[in-house]
Structure 1
Amino acid sequence: MLAAMSATADSPGSPVAAVARKSGGDACPGTLRLHRADDGALARVRIPGGVLTAAQARTLLAVADRLGDGELHLTSRGNLQLRGLDAECGGELAELLRAASLLPSDRHERARNVVASPLSGIDTSGRPEIRSWLTELDALLCGSERAAALSGRFLFALDDGRGDVDALDADLTLIAVDGARALLRTGPGGPLLPVPFDAAPRAALLAAEAFLDLAADPGVWRISALPDAARAALPAEAARRAGLVPPGEDPPAAPPRPTAPAPAPGTVAGPGGAVALHLGVPMGRLTGTRWRALVETAERLGSGELRCTPWRGVVVPGLAAEAAPAALDVLAGAGLVTGPGSPWAGVGACVGRPGCAKSLADVRAEAEAALGPAGRLPVYWSGCERRCGHPHGEWIDVVATPAGHRIARVRGESRDAPVAVPDDPAALAAAVAAARGART
């Protein structure tokens, strides 16, 4: 339902090189499987579509205060991480999340990776409302024994037709055409299969189960990692299981559809004179001050709902238009990005030092030191070659190296020749500013 800043990652790995198979088990963290980091244990709470009630949001901050470092950390899939946890707190953490309806199925908690167009139903675009998809898909996932085997990296995307989350290269993407028709995309850049709107969530689940059967090997976590023959067979197998084509026939392919960038921070006009606020979260760090300001705005002025976005932002829907200016002032005072002209707009980073032992630098501090006028391209700072949480599409890649940094422009699966920059703050800031303003 929902809509780059930065933080920790849901999708570690190189932005251009696909790994065919992983040896060893899927160690992606969840709420029942904590990950040990240099700053304590880490838990990732899956928030399908990023949608939270104000009560759930308050619970998460209370848990962060009680068990962690007092902050929530947004991921590149609109999920939330708790850091600085005691390694022995897992039982208490799970109990608190279950009570808030944030852990509906222990066996499926890491499989509930679902992003959704964050402005669906709350702007004036006239696109179909896809909230029903989100509710139904989550219920189907939690009710499928087979889906419990999905890795913590497998991603569903629900796009209301604007192309924003279709741009995220999910494993399975549903795209609304109108209130009666939809499209199912299997794999990043894969073919588009026509499907009835109301049957779309079930078709997505059946496609995920087909992926598991075709993968056969538990070391294959994503559709992009399937062997070529299996990846080519998946669309037809998914269509057959969903009853979209008679047995023995190939499904028709729909024409390609354009993708779209993330919405800019600021006010979003909605139906009936209501507005929504889209706020960027610098470095994905939701301090207690920032989170409380968001929750209080949602409770006092909005619909009582928050939507975390896969671009490390938060949408607060349902405000009266006349209340928006004062609310934006309060939220800006809390340190949130309220407009596209902010120097923080488009700036992201992994957690870096001291939280990550693999990082070669405190990239968050470096990114803040290099802030300047908002650039044309987003920039993402990584402390090592893993580039945890990097964005998609076109962006500037800044990677720490033993000798300084390496900067390159990334466009999908290709990248320009990198430029090496010595470990000098002024030179680094100038090089990043020049790269962000580059035009083809």
Structure 2
Amino acid sequence: MHVLLIRTYQLLLKGLARVLPFPRQHRLIGAGASQTLAAELSRRRWRRPLLVSDRQLMQLQLPAALIRDLDTAGLPCSVFDQVPENPTIACVEAGLQCYRRNGCDSLIALGGGSVMDCAKGIAARVGNPWFPLRWMEGLFRVIGPPPPLACLPTTAGSGSESTIAAVFSDPQRHCKFAIADLKLLPRITVIDPILMLGLPPAVTAASGMDALTHAVESYIGRNGSAWSRRKALSALRRIHAWLLQAHRHGRDETARLQMALAAHEAGAAFTRTNVGYAHAIAHALGSLYGLPHGLANAIVLPEVLRWSSPCCERQLAEMARAIELEGINSSNGSEQGLALAFIAWIEALKQDLGIPATVAELREEHIPQISRSALKEAHPDYPVPRLMTQTDCQALVSRLQDHSDSQRCAQPPLQ
């Protein structure tokens, strides 16, 4: 698509984002906040909620206390726990059947981004039974009103509890797609650090880097506003201060709460600005190799920032100043130096978190396909600071290859 058409379309979206009436959410925040949800739902006259979760959380009995609270409040819930790591069209349809079979009138999502996105997909299908999920791809195609949704995130990364979007995998086409509509914003969000105390370090690392990618791509994108930039910087400061602490000391309630708030703020920022090439490439890698989204974002982000930096040095420098990077004279340092220091900080953070710099599964023959998929997703919607061509994208993706001996034995992508 021609550069002028892409930028004109993005400018229209920027203007639209500033006048759209984003619904207000009711937020329950703090340790034990999940224990107050049943009373809130009863007050709102939700009668038969469908609890959407995944099997691992059910085995850990994390939803058990909420289910008991709902029963005590006279709100018997049905459970749908067949959500995979990357939600698919099939799992949304299975959830829809469970919702109908049990006569539900509302939804509760307890889990990570995949669970919350799946619940949004189910809600969209309930409100639009005549439209398949794939038809609703893109902006503002959820025509009928979905039933109300409450979200209880158990990871601090996706920020889905504060966004109007949901991402799904289409295994038949080997791609991911998103639906986005104001009607998908959850009515209630519960941010309870107690639900996150048992997260393994690897999940903490990947989800934290997911939140970081949201904040950074929102901030450097061309469609930001004063409000979104404040949210993104606030999230960035929390991540800088608390991610390593949450990773090393997983039962630290303060660190968990601060990271949950960071993910929430970053989600609120990017739902008004959209994301960038790191997400587009991460989605392509995830759909081909089954890579967890947060991990893929973490691997891709530094290379995308390095490529984009000629057109966003000022924003990168502002983020470096916001977190007061050690060894940097913020008042006298050049914007280029600060931008490079910010990218170096992200790479050092990844190393501290045990996140690899490359994708072990990535194979040379897949690079054109990955690049085409990423650019198809990004153009024209993502207001990136610098536009890529297919050649640019292939060169960037090739730098993510693992050239160690193990790469020669790489397995084919997951089908």
TM-score, normalised to structure 1's length?
0.25
More strand by share: 1
TM-score, normalised to structure 2's length?
0.27
Q: Which has the higher contact order (CA 8 A, sep 6+)?
A: 1
